[in-house]
Chains A and B, each alone.
Chain A
Amino acid sequence: MTELDIGSLETEMNRGFLHILVLSLLEKDMYGYSMVKHMEVLGYKVEENTLYPLLRRLEKNGWIASKWDLTEDRPRKFYAITAKGRALRAGLLDVWKNQNRVLDEITKETPHV
């Protein structure tokens, strides 16, 4: 397995994880750049040009909502999670927890994994 293989698979794995991460972060109103910085502080590097299309997709489906803030020097688009988004997040977290549980079980059964 080369680094290139891991890179492309990691991108695929991150796709689902990034949904949960963004929906979790947006309990508090945030704009795109502040989300990138916050994730970096947490030790997760997100490709900037991946985040914005994801935010657009989440908003299109009504899972998050946005509004422009023009009061500061620079215009900023703030996002916040909706009730529908919270329900989705709960469902995704269940999936993720179940996947973790399955992996834990396998690791216990076969210690060299």
Chain B
Amino acid sequence: MSDKLEAYLEEISHYLAGRAEREEILSEIRSHIMEKAAEGPGEFTDAAIERAIASFGPARKVAERYLAESRPIIAPAYKRYLVRYTSLLFALHAALTVLAVVLKKELIVFPLLYIPSVSVIGALMYLPAAFLTDLGAVALVLYFITQSGKDIQLPWPKFGVDLDEFKPRPKRFWLSRIATAVGAVIMLAITDFALYLFARHQTIFFVNMDWTDPRPLFSPGAGRRLSLIVIAMFATTTLSLLVKLLTRSRWVDVVSNVVSLALIGLVLTQPFDNLFAPEIAGKILPKLGPWLKYTILYSLLFVALMIAIDLVKHIVIISRRKLAKSF
């Protein structure tokens, strides 16, 4: 018996693992290939068997012909539920992660969610893994529902604006490009001005507008670090607007959002103590210290949450488009 034939059948067998009639299928394929090889031109040789195998088709394709009758992993009708349920679960996950960061405690919703006590940077590292976990959990549930073969009516939770019903207004090509270009020019000017201020004063935060005697808001070290982070944010926005002049891909927004989230995370890691310049700290901290600290913290977390929501929205829209193409 040809080694090539046995290797070919072994490969088909691998793809058909778990099917009771596997041996029967393999016997029949073996019989067919032997028949064909014997009737071909010339002797019954390995070359003739190879030709017969090539004519029968690649092992995976052959196995798929048999597997096509079995149920899909997730029924096509449930595919859109995968995106919708994952979005909802991830929104809950993200909200609880923000809560875990603020409260500095771990949160458990057994057996669905476990959010460790993490820093802001840790949370930003944790969220992508959380998204994949949520996707896997929802896929697993839909897999079991599909395999049960039962006609189960799943609830269809609606958002404020359902993306299915959302019909974007026809975009006016040049108008949107001009708006983006104007935005890019304004952001470029702001970034340039911030860089100019930073080059001259090592900070971009001041308590007065008198350029002959500028008084920095923050202490030198903190002012330098925060200025660099904010300039990086300006530069990110400028760059994304410039790129959007060339392509309207939502991946540009995704990258811009991720970078912005990372930069906000960096801001949040800066120590609050010794943040303000001594003369400012002496005036405001005794009265407003704790209030100011939490106002800054919650404002930044709110901005981070808005960016995270925007990020999830873009990812969901990209996923939906890919899903629509796969149908």
Binding site for B on A (CB under 8 A): 31-33, 47-50, 52-53, 56-57, 68, 74-77
Determine the distance from Cα of A33 to Cα of B29 in the docked complex, in whole angstroms: 10
Contact: A31 with B31, CB < 8 Å? yes
- Expressed in whole angstroms, the minimum distance between the Cβ of B31 and any Cβ of chain A is 6
A48 touching B31 in the complex, CB below 8 Å, given contacts A53-B65, A53-B69: no
- Expressed in whole angstroms, the minimum distance between the Cβ of B33 and any Cβ of chain A is 9
Q: Would you list 10 pairs from A and B whose C-beta atoms are within 8 A, ordered by A residue?
A: A32-B31, A49-B61, A52-B29, A53-B65, A53-B66, A53-B68, A57-B69, A74-B34, A74-B38, A76-B35
Determine the distance from Cα of A57 to Cα of B35 in the docked complex, in whole angstroms: 22
Determine the distance from Cα of A76 to Cα of B36 in the docked complex, in whole angstroms: 12
- Expressed in whole angstroms, the minimum distance between the Cβ of A22 and any Cβ of chain B is 15
Instruction: Please give, as numbers and ranges, the residues of chain A lying within 8 Å of B36 by CB-CB distance.
Output: 33
Contact: A75 with B56, CB < 8 Å? no
Contact: A48 with B56, CB < 8 Å? yes
Contact: A56 with B21, CB < 8 Å? yes
The answer to whether the Cβ of B299 comes within 8 Å of any Cβ in the partner chain is no
Contact: A49 with B35, CB < 8 Å? no
A31, A32, A33, A56 interface centre (most CB from chain B within 10 Å): A33
The answer to whether the Cβ of B28 comes within 8 Å of any Cβ in the partner chain is yes
A32 touching B66 in the complex, CB below 8 Å, given contacts A48-B56, A48-B57, A52-B25: no
Contact: B34 with A56, CB < 8 Å? no
Q: Mark B134-164, 1 if CB is under 8 A from A, else 0.
A: 0000000000000000000000000000000
Instruction: Please give, as numbers and ranges, the residues of chain A lying within 8 Å of B66 by CB-CB distance.
Output: 53, 56
- Expressed in whole angstroms, the minimum distance between the Cβ of B267 and any Cβ of chain A is 54
Determine the distance from Cα of A33 to Cα of B21 in the docked complex, in whole angstroms: 20
Determine the distance from Cα of A74 to Cα of B28 in the docked complex, in whole angstroms: 11
Instruction: Please give, as numbers and ranges, the residues of chain A lying within 8 Å of B35 by CB-CB distance.
Output: 31, 33, 74, 76
- A51, closest chain B residue (CB): B32
Determine the distance from Cα of A52 to Cα of B57 in the docked complex, in whole angstroms: 13
Instruction: Please give, as numbers and ranges, the residues of chain B lying within 8 Å of A49 by CB-CB distance.
Output: 56-57, 61-62, 65
Determine the distance from Cα of A32 to Cα of B32 in the docked complex, in whole angstroms: 7
Determine the distance from Cα of A42 to Cα of B62 in the docked complex, in whole angstroms: 25
Instruction: Please give, as numbers and ranges, the residues of chain A lying within 8 Å of B31 by CB-CB distance.
Output: 31-33, 74-77
Determine the distance from Cα of A77 to Cα of B56 in the docked complex, in whole angstroms: 17
Contact: A50 with B65, CB < 8 Å? yes
Instruction: Please give, as numbers and ranges, the residues of chain A lying within 8 Å of B57 by CB-CB distance.
Output: 47-49
Contact: B62 with A32, CB < 8 Å? no
- Expressed in whole angstroms, the minimum distance between the Cβ of A64 and any Cβ of chain B is 14
A48 touching B32 in the complex, CB below 8 Å, given contacts A56-B21, A74-B38: yes
The answer to whether the Cβ of B55 comes within 8 Å of any Cβ in the partner chain is yes
A33 touching B68 in the complex, CB below 8 Å, given contacts A48-B55, A49-B56: no
The answer to whether the Cβ of B326 comes within 8 Å of any Cβ in the partner chain is no
Q: Mark B28-63, 1 if CB is under 8 A from A, else 0.
A: 110110111010000000000000000111000110
Contact: A32 with B28, CB < 8 Å? yes
The answer to whether the Cβ of B208 comes within 8 Å of any Cβ in the partner chain is no
Determine the distance from Cα of A52 to Cα of B30 in the docked complex, in whole angstroms: 12
The answer to whether the Cβ of B212 comes within 8 Å of any Cβ in the partner chain is no
Determine the distance from Cα of A36 to Cα of B56 in the docked complex, in whole angstroms: 12
Determine the distance from Cα of A77 to Cα of B28 in the docked complex, in whole angstroms: 7
- Expressed in whole angstroms, the minimum distance between the Cβ of A54 and any Cβ of chain B is 9
Contact: B28 with A52, CB < 8 Å? yes
* Apart from the given pairs A31-B35, A52-B32, A74-B31, 11 other A-B contacts in the complex at a CB distance below 8 Å: A31-B31, A48-B55, A49-B57, A49-B62, A52-B25, A52-B29, A52-B65, A53-B66, A56-B25, A74-B35, A76-B35
Instruction: Please give, as numbers and ranges, the residues of chain A lying within 8 Å of B27 by CB-CB distance.
Output: 68, 75, 77
- A77, closest chain B residue (CB): B28
A50, A52, A57 interface centre (most CB from chain B within 10 Å): A52
